[in-house]
């Protein structure tokens, strides 16, 4: 059995070059302060607030998907929020259920 590999590599776009420093900066933020961690958890929502179901007479006629995933920094923001939640729970012993709504 032969395994085929692709030699195609997507070349980085100008947007990737522009966003790379911002992505790297977000990834390098170290959460070491309780107030900062709480601020991050309050500012970055647990769920995408844009997903909606449009209903008419109780039946869903249109579903608008979460638009957060088209945000080019989505993964980095979710990672930062996770680090903040972990800091609050593990280091501060705080109940993080209020941030998981």
Range 50-64 average pLDDT:
86
- End-to-end CA separation in angstroms for the chain: 49
Rg of the chain over all Cα atoms, to the nearest angstrom:
19
pLDDT per position as a tens digit, 10-55: 777 888 888 999 999 999 999 999 999 999 999 998 887 777 888 8
State pTM to two decimals: 0.74
What DSSP assignment string belongs to 23-84? HHHHHT-----HHHHHHHHHHS-SS-TT-EEEEETTEEEEEE--SGGGSTTHHHHHHHHHHH
Q: In Å, how far are 5, 52, 65, 70, 86 from 99, measured between CA atoms?
A: 43, 21, 22, 23, 12
């Amino acid at each position: 059995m032969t395994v085929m590999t692709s030699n195609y590599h997507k070349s980085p776009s100008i947007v990737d070059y522009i966003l790379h420093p911002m992505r790297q900066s977000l990834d390098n933020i170290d959460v070491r302060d309780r107030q900062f961690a709480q601020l991050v958890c309050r500012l970055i929502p647990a769920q995408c607030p844009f997903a909606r179901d449009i209903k008419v007479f109780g039946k869903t006629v249109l579903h608008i998907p979460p638009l957060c995933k088209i945000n080019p920094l989505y993964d980095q923001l979710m990672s930062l929020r996770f680090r903040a939640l972990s800091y609050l729970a593990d280091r501060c012993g705080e109940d993080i259920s209020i941030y998981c709504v």
